[in-house]
Amino acid sequence: MSISLGRRLGITAIAATSAVIFSATPALAHTNITIGTDQGRMTFIDDGDVFEVCDTKADGAGVVGKLWFNSYIGGDWYVEASGDDGGDDGCDKFAHNVEDTGEFQMRLYWTGPGYDKEIARSRTFNE
Ligand SMILES: [Ca+2]
Ligand SMILES: [Ca+2]
Ligand SMILES: [Ca+2]
């Protein structure tokens, strides 16, 4: 009786643990990801872990792309790296290693007068 109960509890515990690990795993990147609007865009380039930020509209303000991170240990999301682009030619780039230590998310902001307005946000990812 007690052995049978123990077995059943053990199986239940294993199943529950697997479910938690599965649900906490964000989608793996292994591909480029682009977000944006007509004001600008931000692209994660998987080859080299480079992030490209482009201001695509001559509207008197630039854009800033931020790479947010939240570790598996918990706690708040915070900005790990960022890059901005303004009226100059071409896009700006920054590199940041994306690894399997937590979840990453790209968020793009339009730097209008006096404030940064979020205009796009990616799914969470890592690799
Ligand atoms: Ca990569
Ligand atoms: Ca602009
Ligand atoms: Ca530019």
Residue 53: in which H helix or E strand, if any? strand 50-55
Question: How close is the Cα of 41 to the center of ligand 2, in Å?
Answer: 11
* pLDDT reported for residue 74: 86
Question: How close is the Cα of 25 to the center of ligand 1, in Å?
Answer: 17
The pTM is what?
0.77
In a domain, 59, yes or no: yes
Backbone phi and psi for residue 50, each to the nearest 5 degrees, phi listed first: -110, 145
- Residue 105 sits in a domain whose CATH number is 2.60.40
Higher pLDDT, 5 or 98: 98
Task: Judge contact between 106 and 125, C-beta under 8 A.
Answer: no
In a domain, 18, yes or no: no
In a domain, 88, yes or no: yes
For residue 37, what are the domain limits? 29-126
Point out the ligand nearest to the CA of residue 53.
Answer: 3
Q: Token match 């009786």: residue?
A: 1
* Helix, coil or strand: residue 33: strand
Question: How close is the Cα of 56 to the center of ligand 1, in Å?
Answer: 25
* DSSP class of 23: H
* pLDDT reported for residue 26: 63
Q: Which residues sit with Cβ closer than 5 angstroms to ligand 3, an ion?
A: 85, 88
Average pLDDT over residues 15-25: 48
How many domains would you assign to the chain?
A: 1
In a domain, 109, yes or no: yes
E-strand ranges in the chain read 27-28, 33-37, 40-45, 50-55, 63-71, 78-85, 92-95, 102-110, 117-121, 125-126
Question: How close is the Cα of 23 to the center of ligand 2, in Å?
Answer: 38
Task: Judge contact between 109 and 63, C-beta under 8 A.
Answer: yes
- Whether the pLDDT of residue 2 is over 60: the answer is no
Question: How close is the Cα of 31 to the center of ligand 1, in Å?
Answer: 8
Question: How close is the Cα of 101 to the center of ligand 2, in Å?
Answer: 34
The one-letter amino acid code at 90 reads: G
Higher pLDDT, 1 or 75: 75
Chain segment 67-116, per-residue pLDDT in tens: 999 999 989 999 999 999 997 889 999 999 999 999 999 999 999 987 89
Chain segment 25-84, per-residue pLDDT in tens: 566 767 999 999 999 999 999 999 999 999 999 999 999 999 999 999 989 999 999 999
In a domain, 2, yes or no: no
* pLDDT reported for residue 82: 98
Point out the ligand nearest to the CA of residue 61.
Answer: 2
